[in-house]
Amino acid sequence: MTSDPGRLACPLPRCRAVNSATAETCRSCATPLRAWARLRAHPAKLFNAGLEAARSGRTATARDHFAAVVHWCPGDAEARSALALACLLLDDPEEARDHWHQVLTRRPNDATALKGLAHLDSRVTESPDPAQASTPPRNPQNPKPPEKESPKPQEKEPPEKKPATTE
C-alpha cells in the first residue's frame, strides 16, 4: 500500500487515497478500512485454525478450514496442499489427487504436491485387489462414492452333535 507504516492507502483502485493507519474509513471514499483489514486477514486466521485442528487430530475440522481458505483464495497453493493432505487422511484419495493436480497447474515443481501424488500412485500400484486399485468417478448428481459390495456372510455349519453317552 504505502511504505510509511503510519499511513494506509485505500484498497480501492479508483481511490488509493492515503489515510492514517488508525483510520476507520477512507477519508476520500469512505471505504471501511478496518473491516477491509479484518476481512483480508480472515483466510490466514482460517488457515492457522486448520493447522491447529490438524495438529490436535481433528482432521475433518482441519479439512473444513482449509476448504474455506481455498474457497476464498483459490490460488493459495499452500492451503490447497493442506486440503489435499487432509482429504488423503480422511480416506478421500481422489479429492486429494484433484487438489494436488490443481496445485501443480499453478506451481509445476511444488514438492508437496509431487510427493502427495507419488504417494497416491504407490498406493494404487501396491493394492493387492484390483477392485481397490482405482476409485470409480463420482456422479456429480450424487457426490457420495458408490458403496462397495460387502462380502456375503458365510453360512456357519451347525456344530457336530456328539452322541449322547449313557453312564
Chain segment 57-93, per-residue pLDDT in tens: 999 999 999 999 999 999 999 999 999 999 999 999 9
How deeply is 17 buried, as exposed, middle or buried, from its count of CB atoms within 10 A (0-12, 13-18, 19+)? middle
Helices (H) and strands (E) in the chain, counts: 6, 2
| pLDDT tens digits in sequence order for the chain, 167 residues long | 455 678 889 999 999 999 998 999 999 999 999 888 888 889 999 999 999 999 999 999 999 999 999 999 999 999 999 999 999 999 999 999 999 999 999 999 999 999 999 999 998 766 555 444 444 444 444 444 444 443 444 443 444 544 555 54
pTM tops 0.85, yes or no? no
C-alpha cell at 120: 497416491
Query: So what's the pLDDT on residue 143?
Result: 44
82 within 8 A of 47, measured Cβ to Cβ? yes
CB 40: neighbour CB atoms within 10 A? 10
Q: Within 9-158, where are the H helices?
A: 33-55, 59-72, 77-89, 93-106, 111-126, 130-133
Q: Are strands 7-9 and 18-20 parallel, antiparallel or unpaired?
A: antiparallel
pLDDT of residue 166: 53
| Alpha-carbon separation of residue 94 from 63, 81, 88, 159, 167 (angstroms) | 15, 14, 8, 46, 68
